[in-house]
Amino acid sequence: MNDPEFTAGGTARPPAVPTASVDEPAAAEDESDAGQPALRRATVLLLAVVCGAAVANIYYAQPLLPVIAKAFGVSQGASGLVVTVSQVGYALALALVVPLGDVRERRRLASVLLGLSAVALLGAAVSPSLGALLAAIAVVGATSAVAQIVVPLAASLAPGHQRGSVVGTVMAGLLIGIMLARTVAGLLAQVGDWHLAFVFAAVLMAALAIVLRLVLRPVPPSENTTYPELLRSVVALVRTEALLRRRMALAAVGMGCFTILWTASSFLLAEEPYGFGPAVIGLFGLVGVAGAAAAVAAGRLADRGRGRQVTTGGLMALTVSWPVLAIAGVDHMGGLIALTAGIVALNLAQQALLISHQSVLYRRAPHARSRVTTALMVSAFAGSTVASALTAALYPRVGWLGICGLGLVIALVGVGIWILELTHTSPAEPLTAPAAAVDTGSSDGRQADAGRVGARRAEAGRVGCAAVGER
């Protein structure tokens, strides 16, 4: 059907004639790409480091859960709440803070969030009780959402032919940050105590806030609108874009499986017959770094129009990883080999899936990348939050094998969603860019923008719930 389409700002546009499938590169995706130079490698690497270091903050605690439980005299389930509250804070910030990347100067916004994260991490380091630690970690999770401001920022700076590769590199930095967080936290806890990991993270955040402010040039907003309208436009995109909704569901599946693995594996490795300390448990994070290669490769394949194959392969690997991981709970002789293989497969799958989601959605809504990121990552971390809570609650009752069964069921749900997308393909050609996204800086431009805002408000009541047709 041919219902009206919405622009990134929520404004209805005349229906577009489909010109590209999900997997075809869109050469004319964004008019702003014309003549845009390739992004310098040093800039890409800086953004990757900032992204990885920021998101690492919500993963430092994972290998420390047994130590934290012992330090505060609480159960494993109670200590698992540290992971849960960090994910809740992260998800809330994704919904309420990340959209500001489309309407605020991004360098300043990122620097402020990094500084606030440093303060919250110091608060976590000196927490006298589990309650105080949970409060501090919730703020850490919220400020760590700066990572998801950096990703669409990198996508906007890169020309269309380089975008998948740039996003893949930045996401590789994100994954490396997550995995190294486990290793660094484990080693620091072994030589000192669990407080030292949060002190280290606080110093790193403060340093990056300064470097980012000094090195990166100011990045102007891509649209001029009010905060309430900004949030409403996110809802409009979710309501009208079948492609976005399905990718959001797949992101929840992938991140849920990822969180189940890393939360439960800490408990598995701390118990008999393994009985590892936090340093050794943290070293398993290095195995997951292999997923960084998948992020870069998936980005390049997306640039070549092979996003559908990336998604299919990622879901297959995600599903197969759980039976392999289950071996670690029944065959202790080969358990470490099976655990290592399963970690590699699941991390490869998760990163390939996430890059495929971002590539197709950034192409679909080039002028609303922060808002698309908000929708995608809120869904992902909602799935992660539910998964971490389920894992903490169920692990003492069902053990490792039961948790692997839970992961397999969630992966199969993802396969079903993808079959639906393959049989009922959603539109993927770029949405018409809202005129307000072009900021000329002239008085005429500001007057025209005011008129467009009024027009959007008047038309919102008439077409606010229009759906994008599926082909």
Q: Which of 116, 120, 114 is nearest to 215 (CA)?
A: 114
Give CA–CA dist 267/385, Å, rounded. Answer: 18
Predicted local confidence at residue 31, as pLDDT: 46
The least confident of 43-47, 329-333, 424-428, 429-433 is: 429-433
CB atoms near residue 450 (< 10 Å): 12
Q: Are 361 and 151 in contact (CB under 8 A)?
A: no
378 pLDDT above the threshold of 90: no
Exposed, middle or buried, 240 (CB in 10 Å: 0-12/13-18/19+)?
Answer: buried
Which tokens sit at 103?
A: 């309407």
CB atoms near residue 270 (< 10 Å): 20
* Exposure string over 140-149, b if 16+ CB within 10 A, otherwise e: bbbbbbbbbb
Q: Which of 318, 389, 305 is nearest to 354 (CA)?
A: 318
Residues in the chain: 471
The identity of residue 75, as a single letter, is S
With a pLDDT cut of 70, the percent of the chain lying above it is: 82
Give CA–CA dist 436/248, Å, rounded. Answer: 26
Query: What is the rounded average pLDDT of the residues 118-145?
Result: 93
102 pLDDT above the threshold of 50: yes
Give CA–CA dist 141/372, Å, rounded. Answer: 20
Predicted local confidence at residue 458, as pLDDT: 38
Q: Are 73 and 125 in contact (CB under 8 A)?
A: no
The verdict on pTM exceeding 0.85 is no
